[in-house]
Amino acid sequence: MASATLRQPSFFPAFDGPSTPPRKEVRDVSRAQYRKLREGGLLTDRAHLVLTAIAHYYYVHQDWPTPEETCQWMVKTGKLQTANINVVAPRISQELVNGRLDRKTGQRVGGGVCELLPRRTCTVTGGDAHPVRIREAGSVLDRFGYQR
Is the whole-model pTM more than 0.85? no
Q: What is the pLDDT of residues 102-135, one digit of tens each?
A: 788 888 777 778 888 999 999 999 999 999 998 8
| Of residues 112, 114, 124, the one with CA closest to residue 71 | 124
What the chain holds in terms of domains, given with CATH numbers, is 25-138 (1.10.10)
Query: How far apart, in Å, are the Cα atoms of 106 and each of 37, 42, 99, 134?
Result: 20, 16, 12, 26
Instruction: Give the per-residue pLDDT at 14.
Output: 53
- Does position 84 have pLDDT exceeding 50, yes or no? yes
- d(CA 148, CA 145) in angstroms, rounded, equals 10
Residue 142, C-beta contacts closer than 8 angstroms, at least 6 positions apart: 148
